[in-house]
Structures are given as C-alpha cells and as structure tokens.
Amino acid sequence: MRSTEERARLAAEELGPTFVKLGQLLSMRPDVLPHAFILELRKLQDSVQPLPFSSLGPVLREALGREAHEVFADFNEKPLASASLAQVYFARLRDTGQSVAIKVQRPDIQGTMEADLDLAAWLAGLLQHRIAALQAVDLRALVEEARRGILRELDFRHEARSQQYFNAQNPHPEQVFAPQVNLELSSERMLVMEYIDGRPVSQPGLPPETMRLLAARGAASLVRQVLVAGFFHADPHAGNVFVTADGRLCFLNWGLVGHLTRRLRYALADFWVAAVQQDAALIVQIAADLAPPETRLDLHTMEKEVTLALREELNFAIGH
C-alpha cells in the first residue's frame, strides 16, 4: 500500500507541470512541511514531453522581433531539454559564431499556470483538512508563497540578472560559474546564454578523486552563497550542475534563487556550530530569537525534541 506522501507525489505528477513545479518548491520548506513529505517531493523531476518547434517558433520570433535566421546562423529545432516552463535549444550566433543555448518559454504557459495555481490553492485547503500530518501547517499560505515564486520565474529577465550577479560576486570562476548571458537578445520570454559543453555531475564515469574534488568545490561554493553572499541557487540538484571539459562546475537554471539578510546568515552560522557541538539549548535560543514576537513557544519541549533529533541524526560518536 502506498503512503500518503507517495500518493501526493504521484498526484502532482499526474496533474502536470504546474503541480510538479509547486511540489519542488514545497520540497524546499522543511521548516514547515513534515520530513516524510519533503523526502517524497524531492523525487519530483521537472522534465516533460517536448512540444514541437512549430509551437515554440512564434514565441521565439516575437521575443526576437525578427526571424530566427536573421540572428542565428544555425538553429537546431530539436530541444536540448524540455521542462514545465520552457524548452532549451542549441544555436550559433550569426554575427560572432558563438555557440549559445536559447531558453524559450512555452506558449500560453502563464494563463495555464495561473489556473492550475488556483486549483492548487483549493486542493491545499482540502488536504489540510483531511490529512492529520498537515493540519498544523498553513498549506494555503505555502501555496500562495510558491505562486509568487512561480510567476516571478516566468519572467526570464530575473534569471538573467541572477546569473550575472552570481558571476560578478563569485571569487573562484576557475572552479565554479554560471553561464554568461546575452542581455541584448534576452527578454521576458527568452533567455540567450553561452552554451555549456559538459555533463551532469550525476552522470557516471568520472574518477572517484575527481568526484571528491568537485563535491568539495560545489559544497564550498554553496556555503559561501548562503552564509557569505546571502544569495544562492535554490535548486542545485544534480541535473542543474554540469561538469565542463576543463573540470569546472557550472550552475544552471537560476530561476529559483534565495536571499538571506545578514541577521539570518549570522543566525544560520551559529545554528550549524551549535548543531555540531550538540548544543540543543543554543539551537532553541536561536530559533526563539528569530521567531515573530507574537509566537508562543514551549522552549522546554523544543529543547527535548532537538536533543533527541541531534542524537539520532547528527551524532558523530557513531557511524552512519
């Protein structure tokens, strides 16, 4: 018999791309969703059946303001990738010969997603009422927050600026980077960027020592993004991280990013130090300091629960 969490994931896959995207966003909220739901929702993959180029061609022409052959010397109408919001194509610029990847938004996607998100809000209320594990969660508020993120992601100019900002702030471009964006050609519904000749980091075949080095560099970059810059790639799963021929890591798909204030970054750093030191009291104090003033907290119960969680999940005295 399938669990409630698995049925929720399967339902999202059955309902289509909007619900897959919504599930992925909710999977990044372990602070409010039960752990079992988080683990199941992380299995959702944003990969859908590609549309024929005849459906994407009008979007491309409108975004360019001219015919594609006037801008691109070569254009492969077979997509490199197909996701819920867009399809990605390979081309070469006519004026420079540069190889580029072109992310073209699916036609009529905004209206479809807005209708699906209205349905998701209704379903959220129903699920919260009927599933005991979700009754303590304001699921409708979570869906509304996710709605804002999804609709923002439909404007590819945000993604272009995020890639630019990461590259400008990144101290180690010889190790990790994001694709350079062609701002002149990019717009709300189309993103033109350098083509990355590489392979997903999860693809087998790399020597173990190379994988360890790449893992260390990727982890160091993510820690810096979160704790130092306060600006980070919010969906760095294996399919969004490529290894280039020269051994660098490339973070792809910057539609989902996170921002942390200085106060939150300091609190998060203190939190992890406390977790490593098994200091449950300090963890609870950090959480209490960050909670809204009107929140009523049972600090004694919280400390007992955190102590148990640390012993079971982060106990360096035993092997894992």
Same structural domain, 195 and 217: yes
Same structural domain, 273 and 188: no
Same structural domain, 125 and 161: no
pLDDT at residue 228, as a whole number: 94
Q: Which residues contact 91 (CB under 8 A, 6 or more apart)?
A: 68, 72, 73, 74, 75, 76, 99, 100, 102
Mean pLDDT confidence for 29-49: 77
pLDDT in tens, 7-20: 888 888 888 878 88
pLDDT in tens, 227-246: 999 999 988 877 889 999 89
Same structural domain, 220 and 249: yes
- pTM higher than 0.85, yes or no? no
Q: Which residues contact 136 (CB under 8 A, 6 or more apart)?
A: none
Mean pLDDT confidence for 254-262: 90
State the average pLDDT for the chain.
Answer: 88
pLDDT at residue 213, as a whole number: 94
Say if 42 falls within a structural domain.
yes
Say if 209 falls within a structural domain.
yes
- Max Cα–Cα distance, the chain, nearest Å: 68
Same structural domain, 21 and 122: yes
pLDDT at residue 47, as a whole number: 66
Answer for the pair 176, 218: CB distance below 8 angstroms, yes or no.
yes
pLDDT in tens, 61-81: 999 999 999 999 999 999 998
pLDDT at residue 316, as a whole number: 62
Say if 119 falls within a structural domain.
yes
Same structural domain, 254 and 272: no
Q: What percent of the chain has pLDDT over 70?
A: 95
Say if 216 falls within a structural domain.
yes
Say if 320 falls within a structural domain.
no
Catalytic positions, written as ranges: 235
pLDDT in tens, 163-210: 999 999 999 999 999 999 999 999 999 999 999 999 988 887 888 999
Same structural domain, 282 and 174: no
Q: Report the CATH number that the domain containing residue 205 is assigned in CATH.
A: 1.10.510.10
- H helices present in the chain, as ranges: 4-15, 17-26, 35-41, 53-64, 109-130, 139-153, 156-169, 208-223, 262-276, 280-290, 299-313
Same structural domain, 21 and 116: yes
pLDDT at residue 14, as a whole number: 83
Same structural domain, 82 and 137: no
pLDDT at residue 317, as a whole number: 57
Say if 293 falls within a structural domain.
yes
Same structural domain, 175 and 270: no
Quote the domain boundaries for residue 292: 262-313
Number of domains, the chain: 3
Here the tokens at position 68 are 């594609």
